[in-house]
Amino acid sequence: MTEDWTITGDYVEACNCDVACQCLWMEPPDENRCIFSSAWHITDGQYGDIDLSGLHAALIARGEEGVLLDPDTAWHVVLLIDEEADDDQQAALEDIYLGRAGGIFAAAADTHVESAEVATAPFSFTGDGAEFSVEIGDSVSMDVVGKRGFNEDLGTVAPHPFNESTEMKTGKSTTATVSYNDEFSWDVSENNAFLCDFKLANA
């Protein structure tokens, strides 16, 4: 039976687009393909009676040609789970992020995900709301900084699916590399990034 779940914390994403990801407005991405890494630091989380607080998860993904959010675009993903998670916590995070437990990830899985792989890794996730550094084993490295406008406020974009408010802060990566395997290997440093305090749930 699907458990109710809620997770809140910090989110970081880095992709290959030069400026804010055009896929949010259903426009083709740079090079007509999307590759991205995204990571969640869960400061407070529950899956039924399983506590997920303090754990991490990440998705690295590549889309086929075209707009990533177009219903006809297939995604190939790798889910990386914090090696600190015990068996129950790992199973819960798999249920959430692979879409088996409802919420936005279920919509993504049902519509887009053509292949998915799961692995565990050590996570280092540090930041202060406007600047983050993420290291996930030898597979993912992201350093991102929020971009400020003429009034010195951090820029924002909406709608973005990975936050209950649909709003994200705009940023830029100084480092954004993935080296998981031959199919998931890229360097898109110095390109678009998003960051936010996120809240997600299945109800």
Residues forming beta bridges with residue 44, ordered by sequence position: 8
State how many domains the chain has: 1
Q: Is the dihedral of CA 125, 126, 131, 133 positive or negative?
A: negative
Prediction pTM value: 0.95
Per-residue pLDDT of the chain (203 residues; tens, 9 = 90+): 578 999 999 999 999 999 888 889 898 888 888 999 999 999 999 999 999 999 999 999 999 888 888 989 999 999 999 999 999 999 999 999 999 999 999 999 999 999 999 999 999 999 998 999 999 999 999 999 999 988 999 999 999 999 999 999 999 999 999 999 999 999 999 999 999 999 999 97
Residue 157 is predicted with a pLDDT of 93
Residue 98 is predicted with a pLDDT of 97
Residue 19 lies in domain: 5-201
Backbone angles phi, psi at 95, to 5 degrees: -60, -45
| 8 Å CB contact between 76 and 112 | no
